[in-house]
Chains A and B, each alone.
Chain A
Amino acid sequence: MELENLQREDVLMSTRLAAGGRLLNRGKSVRFEFNGKHLRGFDGDTLASALLANDQMLMGRSFKYHRPRGLVASGAEEPNGLVNLGKGGRFEPNARVTTTELFDGLTATSQNHWPSLDFDVGVVNNYAARFLPAGFYYKTFIQPRAAWKHVFEPFIRQSAGLGKAPKDRDVDTYEHFYAFVDVLIVGGGIAGLQAAKTAGASGAKVLLIEQTGHWGGRAPVDGAVIDGKSADDWINNTLDLLDKMENVQVRSRLMGAGIYDHGYALAHERLTDHAPSDDMPRHRLWRIRAKQIITATGAIERPLSFAGNDIPGVMLASAVRDYVVNYGVSAGDRTVVVTNNDDAYRTAIALKGAGLDVPLILDARASGGGALAEEAAALGIRIANGKAIASVKGGKRVTGVQVCAQAGEGAVLEEIACDAIAMSGGWSPVVHLWSHCGGKLIWDDAHAHFRPDADRAPTGADGEPFVSVTGGADGAMSFSGALANADETARHVSKRIGRKAKKATPPNADDVEMAPLAPVWKMPQGAGIKLRSKMWLDYQNDVKVSDVQLAAQEGFESVEHTKRYTTLGMATDQGKLSNINGLAVLADSLNEEIPQVGTTTFRPPYTPISMGSIAGEATGERFQPLRRTPLHDWHAGNGAYWEPVGHWRRPYCFQRSGESVEDAVQREVKATRDSLGLLDASTLGKIIVKGPDAGKFLDMLYTNMMSTLKPGRCRYGLMCSENGFLMDDGVVARIDEDTWLCHTTTGGADHIHAHMEEWLQTEWWDWQVFTANVTEQYAQIAVVGPNARNLLEKLGGMDVSADALPFMAWADGQIGGFDVRAYRISFSGELSYEIAVPASQGRAFWDALLEAGAEWQVTPYGTEALHIMRAEKGFIMIGDETDGTVIPQDLGLDWALSKKKNDYLGKRAQQRSHMADPDRWKLVGLETLDGSVLPDGAYATADGTNANGQRNTQGRVTSTYHSPTLGRGIAMGLVLNGPDRIGEVIDFPKTDGSIVKAKIVNPVFYDPEGEKQNV
């Protein structure tokens, strides 16, 4: 039997017809490659039509059972025709052959087969199907566990996967574009075109977008006659008309991907997929704001569920018709049509017209079809009413059908040889975009589909609808109905945005009379389990009618749960074909009505969009903004080992040739302590706070008193959140009677400025305070070490003596000819000045300091030396000693909490019982007994275990370094009752199991009297 089939398959052909193909340019041949085979197509082909023309019906293997799969559809709904496209930097998995336009040099390989497309080992799954039922993953994840690890997982890993991940960097470029329109119309079929014409006539700014490269949708294929003209003529006339309207833009290859709140829509433009180019962006993501959106997205034909409906050669009736009419390609020589509606007769008529054989039309309706059926009968096509497919014959290709009565259980009445089957289960409106932003659906019994419920549309900020739907997407299933509907919708939408579309008669189209559709959810009606186990619902994820029924039996009543349990509709096609059929089967199994079961949620994007388009320009050097200080170029040229600090890059240290990072850091600390160091402190935040209420404002913001600070003086301050936690610190300088300058941490500059503005704008809006963030106006350079004053005096200018500029004072003046503001502040414990100059002077000033400082071996130092020196002095660092859960009291900073003030942000929070708990861990210094460096973040253990059986802890390391000054490891940490336990030794286990013993000491390791900074 199997052998016989194979022999017969050899002669079955899909092929290019001698004539026809309205989208083809037969004058231009195009070369391409599929699985290493060199093939030819025509300009205007899709990859799908070109493959079919080359008799390549087999496209890939199914995900779970590795069954052979061929084309089903001709558009975005295609579930099977997914390929690896391109090579190297242009490699892309899961490319849909039906939406991939053919170009010269295209290369594609099939996916999900091993070792080859024609011979696949995994097809054994086919016979193992009963071991992979619905919920397989859930069941085997639970038990037996050993079986999962040793049996299922290795097997599934080998066989699963849709496409390969790209290995090379994408060579293409991408970008975004922001567009603002009155009316966005998604879908360029006749309904979308008519809607654009009507809305455009109202004067509204209209953007009409179409996902393919062609306009008019299905109308030309289906032979529409509009206002006495052929569909193609009407479409071209309408496009000409729209082109003349300055307020209307039409764009093809631009897919409406998603609709979001506030009239926001995303659309994905494919610029070079059909003609690769190094110059142009490959994709452009349109970020559109529209006052009103019309979705004219048409409808998608549904498959029928009969046994063997996944065998290559079984296709949607509309797709079979598309390939003949649009591309001059036949799916087979002998095509059996099976349907529950009149539309599929169009396929039989088109095939006959192309000289192909249609041995039989199986119409599941006992009463048969209408006018189109009569036309088919007149062409001599045999029609069998009330009949169905019992089973499809064939393996890798359809070889025939077994016919049965739809009403029965599948007893075979006759067998017909054929090499293609065109099926139609009716049409489902594309409601995805309507649903993205909350539009609701209603069940339409007459057409057996869900369509948008205009009374429950997505609504905008004003509570009014901002999305409308028209044409086939609205369930308008005739040409004249779609056009009239489009005109009316566009008129209504124009009115919503305050415009008036002039009254005009919508175009008139000739409609054929259609007999009613009969819902058919499985074929035949009474199919037993054997047949149901061969009826595919979701081709890509291998979900069958029997799987959904099993899920229902096992108690999955919610459609959302059933979806996840069976994986129905969870593949890259998002269930475009399987959704309605699946939930109809579920409803039937639950003995409920379809509307009661409802649909799963439609989520953007409509079809997958490239990651590159989402990133837009943000790739490579443009991936993230990198903030550079005015001295950045000097650092880069002098061995800077960079550290990211927010978006800034700061030198961690400056490596000399042959020097390790650690050695560089140690050298920088020693040179600064011994003589003279320079630090680029430009990144520290600088915020001016000015106004009659500025002092009062700062007293609320900082825990200590800033209003009493004298002009010309500086004070270190702490800032807490309203929950009492320490969030920032820095030196505040009083500039004049009503002006302060607040220094923040590097990371805090923008955030603290925003924090200030929030309080000023929302809580203390009546206080007279202005703020300005002037962080980037200045290059700020710390001149640090015993020779700091010598250097500044050598450059000459302002008086920087201890008398004129004492510790914690500031002054304006000139140094070395530069206009400067000099702050006598120290974060290192050394004699130190921070000198601010305008940013444009920063580099010149830095160079002057380096040149003049040479005699004291002036040494630029980085952030790590800064950290070590502050830790030696016991100064805390926001982000090291604090982590959002630490309050100033934990850090022994009680001296900076004003007792005189009635209130400051965080004060009340710090009085809560947990905050005032004496058992909160507190800051201490830690000195290892062996002189080693404690691991960062290490925990100190305590006796016993907690409820989870873990060791109890009594403290943790917050900062830890090797101190070159002291020649051993030093650390700071938070320890239970720490300050009361000075001298005690506690244990810090390391990850290797060993234990480091550390003594609790005062956190100030260096110059506790402050004699060095105050000279």
Chain B
Amino acid sequence: MSEVQGLLRSDGFVAVRQLPLRGMITVKGDLSATALKNVATGLSGVDFPGPRECNCVGDNGIAWMAPDEILLMVTHATIPDAMAKVAATLQGQHYLAADVSDARTIFELEGAGVREVIAKLAPVDLAPDVFPPSAFRRTRLGQVPAAFWLKDNQTAELICFRSVTQYVFDILTHAARANTQVSYF
């Protein structure tokens, strides 16, 4: 049983691609607790991020969401196992873990102008010295909440709520259409 809808894609001066579902778990708790750090890094295989950072390789990663919240990313199929592992590891502690994989859509933006496309829509300083790869922001994109990080200087991943997938795709496509480079960064 797979999602009925096809994946969206557009090609302007930056390519906008909807990615297949990714496993995402919201984990709230004490981010300094060893058990929480260990289960997150163990499941994702990446280093635990500092504030406003995201470490992500392929489908696996950890994004720092708030002083008491991370977003743990794993492959979609391994969600039941990952949820069970988190529950087992953090049992007895005050925490919350929720599967939010299906509540989200993830886009990949690729092209030399990736910073500009985002800077047309989000009130974030995307200058390379301020927003290097692995920097992460939860912010506003157009009129909806979104979060994003740079995998490298030409590629970003961006997540939004599932219900506004089409809107986010539309505004990203508009921002990325050919001949609209700002040539700022």
On A, residues with C-beta under 8 Å from B are 173, 175-180, 205, 249, 277, 279-281, 284, 287, 289, 617-618, 621-622, 624-630, 633, 647-648, 688, 690-692, 768, 770-772, 774-778, 818, 838-841, 843-844
Interface residue B3 (Cβ < 8 Å from any Cβ of A): yes
Residue pair B163, A691 in contact (C-beta under 8 Å): no
With beta carbons under 8 angstroms apart, the residue of A179, A688, A776, A844 that contacts B184 is A179
Task: Please give the distance in Å from A291's CB to the nearest CB on chain B.
Answer: 12
On B, residues with C-beta under 8 Å from A are 1-5, 21, 26, 28-29, 68, 94-96, 98-104, 116, 119-127, 130, 142-144, 161-168, 170-171, 174-175, 177-180, 182, 184
Task: Please give the distance in Å from A967's CB to the nearest CB on chain B.
Answer: 38
User: 21 A-B contacts, Cβ less than 8 Å apart?
Assistant: A178-B122, A180-B125, A205-B127, A279-B177, A279-B180, A624-B143, A626-B166, A628-B165, A688-B98, A690-B96, A691-B94, A768-B94, A770-B94, A772-B26, A772-B96, A774-B103, A777-B100, A778-B102, A840-B3, A841-B1, A843-B3
Residue pair B94, A648 in contact (C-beta under 8 Å): no
Query: Which residues on A sit within 8 Å (CB–CB) of B4?
Result: 633, 843-844
B21, B94, B103, B121: residue with the most chain A Cβ atoms closer than 10 Å: B103
Other than the given A617-B171, A624-B143, 7 more pairs (CB < 8 A) read: A177-B119, A178-B119, A279-B177, A289-B125, A622-B174, A772-B100, A844-B4
With beta carbons under 8 angstroms apart, the residue of B29, B124, B125, B170 that contacts A621 is B170
Complex Cα gap A280–B28 (Å):
44
Complex Cα gap A840–B142 (Å):
25
Residue pair A840, B102 in contact (C-beta under 8 Å): yes
Residue pair B120, A176 in contact (C-beta under 8 Å): yes
Residue pair B103, A178 in contact (C-beta under 8 Å): no
Residue pair B21, A840 in contact (C-beta under 8 Å): yes
Residue pair A626, B167 in contact (C-beta under 8 Å): yes
With beta carbons under 8 angstroms apart, the residue of B163, B170, B180 that contacts A175 is B180
**B119 nearest CB neighbor, chain A only:** A178
Query: Which residues on A sit within 8 Å (CB–CB) of B94?
Result: 691-692, 768, 770
Query: Which residues on B sit within 8 Å (CB–CB) of A180?
Result: 125, 127, 130
Residue pair A178, B123 in contact (C-beta under 8 Å): yes
Residue pair B163, A280 in contact (C-beta under 8 Å): no
Known: A177-B184, A691-B96, A768-B94. A617 touches B103 (CB 8 A): no
Known: A617-B121, A838-B102, A844-B4. A625 touches B96 (CB 8 A): no
Residue pair B162, A175 in contact (C-beta under 8 Å): no
Complex Cα gap A776–B161 (Å):
7
Complex Cα gap A771–B69 (Å):
11
Task: Please give the distance in Å from B176's CB to the nearest CB on chain A.
Answer: 11
Residue pair B96, A622 in contact (C-beta under 8 Å): no
Known: A175-B120, A289-B125, A844-B1. A279 touches B167 (CB 8 A): no
Residue pair B167, A839 in contact (C-beta under 8 Å): no
Residue pair B28, A770 in contact (C-beta under 8 Å): yes
Query: Which residues on B sit within 8 Å (CB–CB) of A690?
Result: 95-96
Residue pair A839, B162 in contact (C-beta under 8 Å): yes
Task: Please give the distance in Å from A436's CB to the nearest CB on chain B.
Answer: 20
Complex Cα gap A690–B29 (Å):
11
**A634 nearest CB neighbor, chain B only:** B4
Residue pair A777, B163 in contact (C-beta under 8 Å): no
Query: Which residues on A sit within 8 Å (CB–CB) of B68?
Result: 770
Complex Cα gap A691–B90 (Å):
13
Known: A625-B144, A626-B166, A626-B167. A178 touches B124 (CB 8 A): yes
Query: Which residues on A sit within 8 Å (CB–CB) of B177?
Result: 279
Query: Which residues on B sit within 8 Å (CB–CB) of A777?
Result: 98-103
Task: Please give the distance in Å from A691's CB to the nearest CB on chain B.
Answer: 6
Task: Please give the distance in Å from A956's CB to the nearest CB on chain B.
Answer: 35
**A818 nearest CB neighbor, chain B only:** B1
Query: Which residues on B sit within 8 Å (CB–CB) of A618?
Result: 142-143
Query: Which residues on A sit within 8 Å (CB–CB) of B102?
Result: 776-778, 838-841
Complex Cα gap A717–B67 (Å):
31
B96, B130, B166, B179: residue with the most chain A Cβ atoms closer than 10 Å: B96
Complex Cα gap A648–B178 (Å):
31
Residue pair B180, A281 in contact (C-beta under 8 Å): yes
Known: A179-B119, A627-B164, A844-B4. A775 touches B28 (CB 8 A): no
Residue pair A625, B164 in contact (C-beta under 8 Å): yes
**A689 nearest CB neighbor, chain B only:** B96
Known: A770-B28, A776-B103. A625 touches B179 (CB 8 A): no
Complex Cα gap A205–B130 (Å):
12
Query: Which residues on B sit within 8 Å (CB–CB) of A841?
Result: 1, 102
Complex Cα gap A639–B99 (Å):
33
Query: Which residues on A sit within 8 Å (CB–CB) of B184?
Result: 177, 179, 249
Task: Please give the distance in Å from A263's CB to the nearest CB on chain B.
Answer: 12
Complex Cα gap A629–B165 (Å):
11
Complex Cα gap A628–B167 (Å):
10
Query: Which residues on B sit within 8 Å (CB–CB) of A176?
Result: 120-121
**B20 nearest CB neighbor, chain A only:** A840
Complex Cα gap A496–B29 (Å):
41
Query: Which residues on B sit within 8 Å (CB–CB) of A843?
Result: 3-5
Task: Please give the distance in Å from B166's CB to the nearest CB on chain A.
Answer: 7
In the complex, the 10 A-B pairs of residues with the closest C-beta atoms, listed nearest first: A770-B96, A180-B125, A776-B103, A839-B102, A627-B163, A625-B167, A777-B103, A279-B179, A770-B28, A838-B102
Residue pair B162, A776 in contact (C-beta under 8 Å): yes
Task: Please give the distance in Å from B105's CB to the nearest CB on chain A.
Answer: 10
Residue pair B121, A622 in contact (C-beta under 8 Å): no
Task: Please give the distance in Å from B23's CB to the nearest CB on chain A.
Answer: 11
Query: Which residues on B sit within 8 Å (CB–CB) of A692?
Result: 94
Complex Cα gap A644–B73 (Å):
33
Complex Cα gap A7–B162 (Å):
74
**B24 nearest CB neighbor, chain A only:** A777
Query: Which residues on B sit within 8 Å (CB–CB) of A839?
Result: 102-103, 162
Query: Which residues on A sit within 8 Å (CB–CB) of B100?
Result: 772, 774, 776-777
Task: Please give the distance in Å from B102's CB to the nearest CB on chain A.
Answer: 4
Complex Cα gap A289–B3 (Å):
42
Residue pair B175, A279 in contact (C-beta under 8 Å): no
Residue pair B167, A688 in contact (C-beta under 8 Å): no
**A739 nearest CB neighbor, chain B only:** B96
Task: Please give the distance in Å from B150's CB to the nearest CB on chain A.
Answer: 16
**A839 nearest CB neighbor, chain B only:** B102
Query: Which residues on A sit within 8 Å (CB–CB) of B174?
Result: 173, 175, 617, 622
Known: A249-B184, A843-B4. A648 touches B170 (CB 8 A): no
With beta carbons under 8 angstroms apart, the residue of B99, B104, B142, B178 that contacts A617 is B142
Residue pair B96, A617 in contact (C-beta under 8 Å): no
With beta carbons under 8 angstroms apart, the residue of B1, B21, B120, B162 that contacts A630 is B162
**B68 nearest CB neighbor, chain A only:** A770
Complex Cα gap A279–B101 (Å):
37
Complex Cα gap A313–B28 (Å):
73
Complex Cα gap A916–B26 (Å):
44
**B2 nearest CB neighbor, chain A only:** A840
Complex Cα gap A572–B35 (Å):
65
B94, B104, B144, B165: residue with the most chain A Cβ atoms closer than 10 Å: B94
